[in-house]
Structure 1
Amino acid sequence: MLALRDLQRKLPIGGALLLMAFALGGCSSQLADMTPADAQAHPREPSSYLPVHDLPPDRDQAVIPPDQRAKIEAELAAARDRQAVAAKDAK
């Protein structure tokens, strides 16, 4: 009877160790071994899209002329003031 109780205690521990060994063994496989033999290589010529780190050349002229920029800033300031008044009235 004593041997049966020992076996019942050791069996789950042994199973857990076996599962852990399989899990750790799967992590040690090389990724290069997992690629199929008929996989296509990456193209050598550059694609039509720019790489992320490449930026467009600097522009010599401003995107928005200064007079239009001042008009837009004034409109935004007026909208901000209207919203502040509306929020104060809502309280």
Structure 2
Amino acid sequence: MTSSEPTSTRRRLRSGAPAVALLLVGLVTGLPLGGCSIPVSDMPLLGVSDDQEKDSNGYLAVNALPTGREEKAMEPGERSKLESELIATRERQTAAAAAAAGATASASAAK
């Protein structure tokens, strides 16, 4: 600051300095402590017990096992039938892709 500045400007600059310093101290101490906080839903004072399911999206917890199936997943005959159908579909798609690539190559060669 120079002596040509009015005294009111100097006072405003000086009066804002403690507020800025206080804000910086709050940020410097608040950010590390904020990482240590726990979610509000886990606080015991709010009445959430460990028996209640905390995951509302339908997924099981990491340590929970799914219930057993009541029926078999697939019979061996049904499985082999589906495998053969998938193989046949894959072969048809491969043949169709090869035919399309051949048609594209012959069309570009004709130009």
TM-score (norm 2): 0.45
Tell me, yes or no, if structure 1 residue 24 matches structure 2 residue 28.
yes
Closer/same/farther in 2, CA of residues 82 and 26 from structure 1, 3 Å limit: same
Structure 1 residue 60: deviation in Å?
8.8
Q: 2:67, 2:33 → 1: CA distance?
A: 45
CA-CA distance at 1:89 after TM superposition: 1.1
Determine the structure 1 residue equivalent to 2:90: 80
How many Å apart are 1:40 and its aligned residue?
1.6
Match of 1:54 in 2: 64
- 2-side partners of 1:53 and 1:82: how far apart? 44
Q: CA deviation at 1:22?
A: 4.3
Distance 1:20 1:81, change over 3 A: farther
Q: Decide whether aligned partners of structure 1 residues 22 and 42 sit closer, same or farther in structure 2, where only a CA change above 3 A counts.
A: same
Q: Provide the TM-score with structure 1 as the length reference.
A: 0.53
Q: Which residue number corresponds to residue 41 of structure 1?
A: 47
The size of the alignment, in residue pairs, is 73
Summarize the Cα distance change of 1:80–1:22 in structure 2 as closer, same or farther, 3 Å threshold.
same
Instruction: Considering Cα pairs closer than 8 Å and 6+ residues apart, tell me whether 1 or 2 has the greater RCO.
Output: 2
Q: Structure 2 unaligned runs (5+)?
A: 3-12, 102-111
2-side partners of 1:44 and 1:53: how far apart? 14
Identity of aligned residues (%): 29
